[in-house]
Structure 1
Amino acid sequence: MEKKMKCVLILLLCCHVGSPVKHSLKYFITETPGAQSIPEFVAVAFVDEVPIGDFNSVRGAKPKKDWIKFFEDHPEHLEWHSLQSHESHHFLKATIETLRQCLNQTEGVHILQRMKGCEWDDETGEINGYDQYGYDREDFLAYDLKTLTWIAPKPHAVLTKMRFDAHEHQFESNKNFLVYQCPDFLKEYLRYGKRFLQTAVLPKVSLLQKTPSSPVSCHATGFYPDRAVMFWRKDGVQLHEGVDPGEILPNNDGTFQMSIDLNVSSVTPEDWQRYDCVFQLAGVNEHIITKLDKTAIRTNWAEKPADMVTFISAAVVLLTVTIITAVAFVAYKKKKAPDDGSEQSERLNPQS
């Protein structure tokens, strides 16, 4: 079943040559009262996983470089985000204090995170909103748009769920944002950022290996968007055994990276040329194919250069000669010591 799903995913990626179908607007919010080295409150807005601006409790709102002009031309957007951030800051801080009292947490720094936003399918028009909380890095609450209630996956979240459920006006506000306002914002941001948001970027692909007995990792970094697949082939046929795919991870510059490992312990030297790594990015016809080549692998265990080996060998020889000479000299001195002592004694005592 898993193999079939992978094949279907690859087929969809190959067939879809237009821009990505689903777009998203996401707000990732973190509250950490008592933290010393970071702001108590940080909120970051993402469009299609690319940050467009952030707000923190120290310096306020700051749009990203590509979005400065948009927020200058639409100051109402910046005002709205600033107001929402201020309100969220106070609300989350009060929620943490209530949780600490309920859970008898008297010491330490605690973290409350919130991720809310929406996805919009530009072909079907389908909209999916979400609002989720995490407390001390564990799932805490999730908002159900269908029932307009909060879901508590942990027993200690039930009291907070009941408190949230009691605020009926908050449900309507949440629903209005997730179903109407968030998609409207998203479409407006997509129109402005179309030039740089929907430009596909191909990655740099490298072959990596930690030790001679380690799997060979095919690593791609710097691609955009994050809708990509990567797999190993043998004689043009995709492999499912002996491979270990990794997750797609974000880079600091808004691009992404991923890797997939191939176990080469049973691959004979003459068979290496039959293997290759394939990277495919949604919306791009060009695929990156990297042959399994020992000379192209980047490692941490490369042999020392010949001049370094010669230098080390010469140093060892010199050290050995020095030690032998020193030992011989000490032995000679010990052998001569008694005679010298006798002659000196006779000179000092001529009568004896």
Structure 2
Amino acid sequence: MILLLLFGAHLVSAGTHSLRYVYTGVSGVNDFPEFTAVGQVDEGQLVYFDSKMMKAVPKTEWMRQNEGADYWDRETQGLTGEHQNFKNNIHILKERFNQTTGVHTYQVMYGCEFDDQTGEINGFFQYGYDGEDFLFLDLKEMRWIIPVQQRIITVDKWNNDRGRLEAFRNYFSTVCIEWLKKYLEYGKSSLKKTVSPQVSVLKKSSSSPVKCHATGFYPKDVTISWMKNDQEHHEDVEVGELLPNEDGTFQKTSTLTVTPEELKKNEFICVVEHQGKTFREILKDDSLPIIIIVGVVLALILSAVIGVVVFKVYQKKKGFRPVNASDDGSNSSARTDPQA
């Protein structure tokens, strides 16, 4: 679903902003919470809940300052209900897959994003079970899609429930966006900050791959590349996923596979670009890394596409009713409402 809207003037920064919620249910692990929920703005944690502490808590100081007890009571009440829903769903899914033992996971991710330059709005809603994509809502066609055909008995029923689908449309196009804009306003002083990455090149042994690790940077847009003897080098390079740090910054790793002979004969440099600055770290042979920070080389303005690609979730195989979206905007997050 793509809509064009006009937004207020108090936006944090140019580019794409997102609000998303990730709910995870786990079965078969004793020392891990049965249910966890994380709310994120621009991939930084906003709110957290798990079934051990049974309480929704703020993850930023600006959320703690701007939302009072009523907000956190509502979030706690809703997420407590989600905990029971997830327990029920995992139980039913295990029965349908004839699973009696082992570790099983059930996950839901949903949210919205907008580009404050173009006004484009998008929403995403995805289910999964045991490590495989399972079911998602196509907001352009307003229908549920099964990536891999399976015996799901209620998809047609969901697609025929036009009232619920319209509630989804309203949530993702209006309610979710309004809350995202509110959170961005709350945290504008923090979210506008720029923190440069700390870059290190790590090599455990002469035969192990070389890892370039960038961490502690904000905002999240970053590129990591390699140079060999001052030439771009793309062979045998694997770039890892963007990961959040506890303090709201991010980290990312790029791995280069290179033989000891190549390393002795050539100079390899990791190049990290962030917010118009370039950071280079050299590892030649087995010498200790030397950090060289270079000035502005290239303005880095990359809009992060957060949606479903980043979300590698688990596969689900039974019918349950999805979120109970609020039409009046009173809740920042939609709620799942599964039924067998």
Fold equivalence (TM over 0.5): yes
- 2:272 is aligned, of 269, 276, 279, to 279
Cα separation, 1, equivalents of 2:270 and 2:82 = 46
Q: Distance in 2 between matches of 1:107 and 1:218?
A: 39
> Number of matched residues?
275
Q: Which structure features the higher share of strand residues? A: 2
* Residues 51-200 of structure 1 aligned to structure 2 (within 5 Å): 51-58=45-52, 59-66=54-61, 67-72=63-68, 77-108=71-102, 110-156=104-150, 158-200=152-194
Structure 1's 39 and 263: CA in aligned 2 closer, same or farther, altered over 3 A?
closer
Distance 1:68 1:29 in 2: 21
* Aligned mate of 1:46, from 40, 44, 51: 40
Distance 1:34 1:286, change over 3 A: closer
C-alpha deviation, 1:192, in angstroms: 1.0
1:251-330 matches, within 5 Å, as 251-254=245-248, 255-261=250-256, 263=258, 265-267=260-262, 269=264, 271-272=266-267, 275-281=268-274, 284-293=275-284, 294-297=286-289
Q: Is the 8 A contact 2:127 2:136 kept in 1?
A: yes
**SS across alignment from 2:56:** strand
The 5 A counterparts of 1:224-243 are: 224-243=218-237
Distance 2:265 2:145 in 1: 57
| Contact persistence 2:28–2:101 (CA under 8 A) | no
Matching residue within 185, 207, 211 for 1:213: 207
Q: Is the 8 Å Cα contact of residues 208 and 257 (structure 2) preserved in structure 1?
A: no
3-state SS of the aligned residue for 1:32? strand
Q: Distance in 1 between matches of 2:119 and 2:32?
A: 40
* 1:161–1:125 CA distance, 2 compared to 1 (3 A): same
Cα drift, residue 104 of structure 1: 3.3
Deviation, structure 1 residue 227: 1.2
Q: Which amino acid aligns with 2:273?
A: Q
* Displacement after TM superposition at 1:215 (Å): 3.7
Is contact 1:243-1:263 (8 Å) kept?
A: no
Contact 2:229 2:266 in 1 (8 A): no
Offset at 1:149? 1.4
**Comparing both structures, which one devotes a greater share of its residues to helix?**
1
3-state secondary structure, aligned to 1:28:
strand
- Asked whether the equivalents of residues 209 and 255 of structure 2 are also in contact (C-alpha less than 8 Å), the reply is no
CA distance in 1, matches of 2:27, 2:21: 19
Quick one: which amino acid aligns to residue 82 of structure 1? T
TM-score under structure 2 normalisation?
Answer: 0.71
Give the aligned residue type for 2:97.
Answer: L
Unaligned runs of 5+ in 2: 1-11, 291-340
Q: CA RMSD in A?
A: 2.8
Deviates more, 1:149-158 or 1:113-122: 149-158
- In structure 1, runs of 5+ residues without a counterpart are 1-17, 299-352
Kindly tell me: are residues 241 and 70 of structure 1, through their superposed partners in 2, closer, same or farther at Cα, counting changes over 3 Å? Answer: same
Q: Distance in 2 between matches of 1:228 and 1:240?
A: 17
Q: Is the 8 A contact 1:42 1:54 kept in 2?
A: yes
SS of the aligned residue for 1:124 comes to: coil
Give the TM-score, by structure 1 length: 0.69
CA 79–167 in structure 1, closer or farther in 2 if over 3 Å, else same:
farther
Equivalent pairs: percent with the same residue?
A: 38
Give yes or no for contact 1:203–1:221 (8 Å, CA) kept in 2: yes
Query: SS of the counterpart of 2:67?
Result: helix
Secondary structure of the residue aligned to 1:292 is strand
